Amino acid sequence: MFSALTPRSRADALAALGTEQLDVLVIGGGVTGAGVAVDAVTRGLRTGIVDMQDWAGGTSAWSSKLVHGGLRYLYNLDFKLVAEGLRERALLLTTTAPHLVQAQPFLWPLKRRVIERAYSAVGVGMYDAMAVAGFRGRAVPLQKHYSKRGALQLFPDIRPDELIGAIRFYDARVDDARLVTTLVRTAQSYGAHAASRTQMVDLIKDGPRVVGAEVVDLETGQRHRVYAKHVINATGVWTEDTEALATDEAKVRVLMSKGIHIVVPRHRIRGRAGIFLRTEKSVLFIIPWQRYWIIGTTDTPWSEEPLRPVATRPDVDYLLEHANGVLRSELTFEDIIGVYAGLRPLVQPSEDAASTKISRDHTVLEVAPGMTVITGGKLTSYRLMAEHAVDNAIGPERAKARPSVTARTPLVGASGLEAITAQAGRIGARHGWTGDRLQHLLGRYGTELAQISAAVQDDPGLGEPLAAAPAYLRAEVAWAITHEGALHLEDILQRRVRLFYESRDRGLAALPEIADIAAPLLGWDAETRAAEIDSYRALARAEEEALSTLADDDAVRARTQAPERVPLAPMGREG
């Protein structure tokens, strides 16, 4: 089957959704919904998936970008959650997405010579032991203890007075939005119908039973009635809104928690590992990527509308204060090249529960006959969550007859990774690509590196770096459209070529060149191209204005000054 997400594949999917009877319709194209689509279609179920925004348009593009068991949950004695996360981490690293998910060492600085080292060693030791036992083998190296001198050699920018030694442990990191797009492509490659910018506005019911959904193609305004034996609601922070279309009795309560991250250039922090710290509210990660560091996160309740969460200046100051508490880099606001914010959908057990105290475990339940809700959880466990959601939807007998196979199903770009990695040097030499360039491309495309190379051979201009963002090739912008479902400039800059947070100007300098590549591939005329550029410029300006505010409500008002390029449709039946 064809894995490329294109305007043509989207149109074909919408046509099929309007005419075929599905087994499973997935509402929501974040990591959970995309995982559900892969799980359902690889069981042989006729599957469709829609999202009102771009793929990963909500929470799933704005995480800490970690694949982890959750060391902090171990100290809350949440052993089941940690064990599940560690097993899923190992599957991603070794089987399903080894091209996208990279092992990442972290240092845990210690301040007390005997008690804390012993206490932390036991905790990290349990973390390692659970990882080995859950996977029946070792996917990452085990913990290693460092003296103060050894820790400072590994990470020279830690303040010497902030540690007496450290423990190194491993987790992993991933480009979250890329993982989601790859999941959707994988689902489509097995026969799923996938349509982004397609909003579910109402449910179709036969008495109390949900038998499908009415959706609107937001690009054209056309409405489609989609019939399915089972509808799975994977809408994250919109769970309560979509559940209300199925039943008047609320069964799931979701608390929205905002997490923000800042991005600083790689040269501003000297270190060869990440940093893990426990704070008074949550944890702080300082995570190295190829060209920058990501520092996060915050964990604060969010009561504003969920479509466009934004960071405020106090959010950023909180992260700088805690990072500078352990670093001697003396980071300032001027060092920051990017800021992003996202919302976590946390299952709320009580009205007065604080977001930092709520478990990251997931909830799956049938809210009405024919409709299953999956919410909560964390990115790492998306595959297991999807398995549970499909099991719940089709029932125990069918689940036993058609069990999940996703633990053994590589995602697009994963099969044959060792072979293409062995050939990478030869491929790179053909195009004059450096080792850093090859590392970048392999970590984004895996075995599709060969197809990127072929595209550059066919059109050598695609092999040129973007003039204002030379870390990316022009081919990567084209690929975002021809294979990864990007329909608008914001899709490219926010979730494919991620200049929205990787560059100080949010990618504005590269915008005209990116628009020039996109326009012929998407059939834009001069007027549409100009409107796309204006829309993204307004978005970038509004994000910066929001960042200067002191409170969430003021930040949202600033952000909403930029109109949506593709506005949402009103909920409910037409007319």
Higher-pLDDT residue of 311 and 248 is 311
Place of tokens 């020279």: 156
Query: What local confidence, expressed as pLDDT, does residue 139 receive?
Result: 76
Question: Is pTM, for the whole model, over 0.85?
Answer: yes
Query: What local confidence, expressed as pLDDT, does residue 250 receive?
Result: 81
Task: Give the chain's end-to-end CA distance (angstroms, integer).
Answer: 39
Residue-wise pLDDT for 255-292, tens only, equals 999 999 999 999 999 999 999 988 776 789 999 999 99
Confidence class of residue 352 from pLDDT cuts 50, 70 and 90?
A: very low
Query: What local confidence, expressed as pLDDT, does residue 357 receive?
Result: 39
Length of the chain counted residue by residue: 575
Confidence class of residue 94 from pLDDT cuts 50, 70 and 90?
A: very high
Residue-wise pLDDT for 369-392, tens only, equals 999 999 999 999 999 999 999 999
Confidence class of residue 128 from pLDDT cuts 50, 70 and 90?
A: low
Q: What average pLDDT does this structure show over 108-132?
A: 66
Query: What local confidence, expressed as pLDDT, does residue 121 receive?
Result: 61
**Rounded-to-5 percentages of helix, strand, coil across the chain:** 45, 25, 35
**What residues contact 241, with CB distance under 8 A and at least 6 apart?**
235, 571
| Percent above pLDDT 90 for the chain | 83
Angle at 9 between CA 196 and CA 308, to 5 degrees: 15
CA-based nearest residue to 379, from 66, 117, 79:
66
CA-based nearest residue to 439, from 196, 137, 99, 208:
99
Query: What local confidence, expressed as pLDDT, does residue 349 receive?
Result: 52
Query: What local confidence, expressed as pLDDT, does residue 125 receive?
Result: 61
Residue-wise pLDDT for 301-349, tens only, equals 999 999 999 999 999 999 999 999 999 999 999 999 999 999 999 987 5
Query: What local confidence, expressed as pLDDT, does residue 192 receive?
Result: 98
Strands 254-265 and 292-296: antiparallel
**What residues contact 143, with CB distance under 8 A and at least 6 apart?**
121, 124, 125, 127, 128, 167, 168, 169
Q: What average pLDDT does this structure show over 140-146?
A: 86
Contact of 325 with 162, CB cutoff 8 Å? yes
Query: What local confidence, expressed as pLDDT, does residue 138 receive?
Result: 65
How many CA atoms lie less than 13 Å away from 389 in the CB half-sphere?
A: 35
Q: What average pLDDT does this structure show over 487-491?
A: 98
Residue-wise pLDDT for 530-559, tens only, equals 999 999 999 999 999 999 999 999 999 999
Query: What local confidence, expressed as pLDDT, does residue 114 receive?
Result: 55
CA-based nearest residue to 292, from 500, 518, 53, 82:
500
Cα–Cα distance, 444 to 395 (Å, whole number): 37
Q: Name the range with the highest mean pLDDT among 44-53, 61-70, 118-127, 130-139.
A: 44-53
- The single-letter DSSP state of residue 93 is I
